[in-house]
Amino acid sequence: MAKQLSGSRRALATLLALAALGAVWEVRRLAAADAAPTRAGGATMDENLKVATFAGGCFWCMEPPFDKVDGVTATTSGYTGGHTVNPTYEQVSSGTTGHAESLQVTYDPARVSYEKLLEVYWHNIDPLARDRQFCDAGEQYRSAIFYHDEEQKRLAEASRQALEQSGRFKQPIVTQIVPAGPFYPAEDYHQDYYKKNPIRYKFYRYSCGRDQRLQELWGAP
């Protein structure tokens, strides 16, 4: 009887996990279905500002930590690192365009350093996961730092090396550091999703296990 109960509990746990994963994807599907496929517009950037580009899985979840940073003037969810021109969310989600869901961070280097942005980035991803982040699997959810100049490349590589030498992780860090290419802003409904749809966003984030895994990797925030 005890063995039967144990097996039943395992089966129930598996069903609950599958249901939660299905609910996660339903949130993203509903977000796409509810919105018209319009693109976020690009404003002319002040010459004193700089841009950093990061991929860390779902871009909805990458916006909040950077929006909180003093000196960050804008964040834009979008797609980069692929071969299709001006891809749609549906195309990127299919995993056929080579793009990663990414975040373009516009910042004032007089107020915040690129090193600080790297620190925020690392503490909001799982650098040990290859071609996935949390519950989202596929090349489109890979973690990557897209550098815009040699200084960003140098700082990104130095930060990864320091993390590797820290002894924090036994597994290898698989986050890519690659040159930045064309960045395509995502559809309007993806921008500031956590502000526009806070309930759906919080449900998705929790169901995806993002904060639970981040605490395992980095400790309590």
Q: Which residues are catalytic?
A: 58
How far apart are alpha carbons 80 and 188 in whole angstroms?
A: 16
Strands (E), 4-71: 50-56
Q: Can you tell me the distance from the alpha carbon of 151 to that of 138, in angstroms, rounded to the nearest whole number?
A: 30
**Could you tell me which of 93, 66, 61 has the C-alpha nearest to residue 212?**
61
Q: How is residue 38 annotated by DSSP?
A: P
- Lookup result for tokens 């746990």: 13
